[in-house]
Amino acid sequence: MREGCYACHSQMIRTLRDEVERYGPYSLAVESQYDRPMLWGSKRTGPDLARVGGKYSDFWHVAHLSNPRDVVPESNMPAYAWLARTPLRMEDLPDHLEAQRELGVPYTAEMVENAARDAYGQAIPDGDFAAGVAERYGEATQVRAFDGVTTQVTEMDALVAYLQILGRLTDAAYQDTAAPEIAPNPEN
């Protein structure tokens, strides 16, 4: 939100045929139920990001964010190379998680308490705090040096980690959601 990515990228695949063919199943409300603020948008200067998680490698994202034209020659996206040089501000992460918790995001008290350590542990897999991340968030949680550097946690780590999780928190869009052939009897 701070960098204004939503001004050119949406995070919502609309029900239009060409969008579904390009990006996959249309977005469902459950996929962004905890997003505050909602960043669905409709602007398409750049591609939709709703399910970009896992589509490209961390290295690709870092290269693209550092100089977009290195990987997409026709891109008009500005470079964000400075993110790799900017340490991630972590001291107020517990406050941010607590605010999200108040809004209904299912963070536990332990997640809030350990937010800064978990951010450090998620981006430095060989560090002292890495094991706690999987304990609190589950074994499927991605723990790695997202920007390729294991000596510090940067804003690039945070943005690449965010991009890599988009569309991967639920598989609801890929489940059969068609109504049953016979409507349920409300009297049963």
User: Nearest-CA neighbor of 160 among 148, 152, 170, 168?
Assistant: 148
Q: Do residues 68 and 144 both lie within one domain?
A: yes
Q: Considering Cα of 32, then 37, then 38, then 39, what sign does the dihedral take?
A: negative
- pLDDT at residue 133 greater than cutoff 80: yes
Within a domain: residue 142? yes
Q: Do residues 118 and 98 both lie within one domain?
A: yes
Q: Do residues 62 and 149 both lie within one domain?
A: yes
- To 10 degrees, what angle do helices 115-123 and 130-137 make? 110
pLDDT for 89: 95
pLDDT for 187: 64
Q: 3-class SS at 30?
A: helix
Characterise 170 by phi-psi region: left (phi > 0), alpha (psi -120 to 50), beta (else). Answer: beta
**Residue 163 in contact with residue 146, Cβ under 8 Å?**
no
Q: Do residues 73 and 1 both lie within one domain?
A: no
pLDDT for 160: 98
- pLDDT at residue 1 greater than cutoff 90: no
**What is the pLDDT averaged over residues 64-86?**
97
Q: pTM of the entire structure?
A: 0.88
Which of 11, 35, 51 is a domain's end point? 51
pLDDT band at 139, cuts 50/70/90? confident
- pLDDT at residue 123 greater than cutoff 90: yes
pLDDT for 36: 79
- pLDDT at residue 152 greater than cutoff 80: yes
Q: Do residues 22 and 77 both lie within one domain?
A: no
Q: Do residues 67 and 15 both lie within one domain?
A: no
- Residue 73 burial class via C-beta count within 10 angstroms: exposed 0-12, middle 13-18, buried 19 and up: exposed
Query: Structural domain of residue 115, as residue ranges?
Result: 52-169
Within a domain: residue 5? yes
Which of 32, 51, 70 is a domain's end point? 51
Q: Do residues 83 and 104 both lie within one domain?
A: yes
pLDDT digits (tens, 9 = 90+) for 3-19: 988 889 988 888 989 98
Distance between CA 104 and CA 121 in Å, rounded? 25
Distance between CA 27 and CA 120 in Å, rounded? 31
Q: Do residues 154 and 74 both lie within one domain?
A: yes
pLDDT for 188: 56
- pLDDT at residue 60 greater than cutoff 90: yes
Q: Do residues 41 and 57 both lie within one domain?
A: no
Q: Do residues 32 and 58 both lie within one domain?
A: no
R_g over Cα of the chain: 19
Is the preceding peptide bond at 37 cis, omega within 30 degrees of 0? Answer: yes
**What is the pLDDT averaged over residues 90-101?**
96
**Tally of structural domains, the chain:** 2
Within a domain: residue 185? no
The residue count for the chain? 188
- pLDDT at residue 96 greater than cutoff 60: yes
**CATH at 87:** 1.10.760.10
Within a domain: residue 162? yes
Q: Do residues 72 and 40 both lie within one domain?
A: no
